[in-house]
Amino acid sequence: MRGFLAAAALLVSAGCDILSKPTEPGPVVTGEVSYTALGASDAIGYGSSSPCVPFSPCPDGAGYVQIVARRLRAANPNLAFLNLGVPGAVLSREIMTIGNTLGRGIPANMIDGQLPFVAVGSTIVTVFSDANGVNTIGAALKPLASSARPAYAQTQVQNFARDFLSFISGITARAGGSTVVVLNLPNLARLPYAAGYTEEERSYLRQLSAGFSAGMNATRSAKVRIVDLMCHAPVYQAAFYSSDGFHPSDYGYSVMADLVSAAIAAPPAAPAATCSFM
């Protein structure tokens, strides 16, 4: 967080200038559009060449949220845009408490800190959660006896599914006219940052990533569209990630923006029940 705040201060002084901006395709929707983005550091484009200060419009940001907003604004000059993403946020108060008990310094949770502020008139809402939660629960497993870890992990997967359903229900209740686009999780065990983990640690990242994503996939409906990162091959390319091996690079964010734009334009296929990347 100290590093992020220092970077944020530099961004303020620089006016959020962009260093390299992904190519912008044509408009994805037309008509009255109000876009609300929910998430964590992904929502401000952390890891890109042009991350944004939280809660700022940052029109030239290189994150997927900012790219999508630019595409929407190209067809809708009066676009209403609200970015509620908070770096380090997790989905629920329960995961936040678990993490802070471990000294992880989690600043916020999306259910308490973002859901109540979704614009009621939103026509599009994007959600990306909860890689931070997977890492938090993974850390919570380490001090447990090995015999207790499987049941604890499964309980947390079930709790996440319960809380994510409540979260999505809250969004659709607040913004009844919205299309909600949810990006599920990739298999975090296959990401570069986990390369130095033990096989047991990676096994729990796999279980949690797949379990959390299954909970997200279960919310798919006429109003909720799922972008299947779990089974999307480009997500597992090294180039998708920034130098920390966890946050996307400019290329990674551009891939995410393309997937979200396509999901806004038309409902994507149902997420795969299984794939080699799981």
Q: What is the pLDDT of residue 32?
A: 82
Q: What are phi and psi of 221, to 5 degrees?
A: -160, -170
* Mean pLDDT, each 10-residue run in order, the chain (278 residues): 40 31 45 92 98 95 98 95 98 98 98 97 97 98 96 98 98 97 98 97 97 98 98 98 98 98 98 95
The CATH label, of 3.40.710.10, 1.10.150.20, 3.40.50.1110, 3.40.50.300, for the domain at 32-265 is 3.40.50.1110
Q: Exposed, middle or buried: residue 27 (CB in 10 Å: 0-12, 13-18, 19+)?
A: middle
Q: What is the DSSP letter of 16?
A: T
Domain definitions of the chain by residue range: 32-265
Does pTM top 0.75 for this prediction?
yes
Quick one: which H or E segment has residue 125?
strand 124-128
Rounded distance, CA 259 to CA 228, Å? Answer: 9
State the pLDDT at residue 175: 96
Question: What pLDDT score was predicted for residue 28?
Answer: 56
User: Is the peptide bond between 130 and the residue preceding it cis, with omega within 30 degrees of 0?
Assistant: yes
pLDDT tens-digit map of 51-108? 999 999 899 999 999 999 999 999 999 999 999 999 999 999 999 999 999 999 999 9
Q: Between the CA atoms of 252, 23, 228 and 220, what dihedral angle is there, to the nearest 10 degrees?
A: 130
* Segments in 52-148 forming alpha helices (H): 64-75, 93-101, 110-113, 131-141
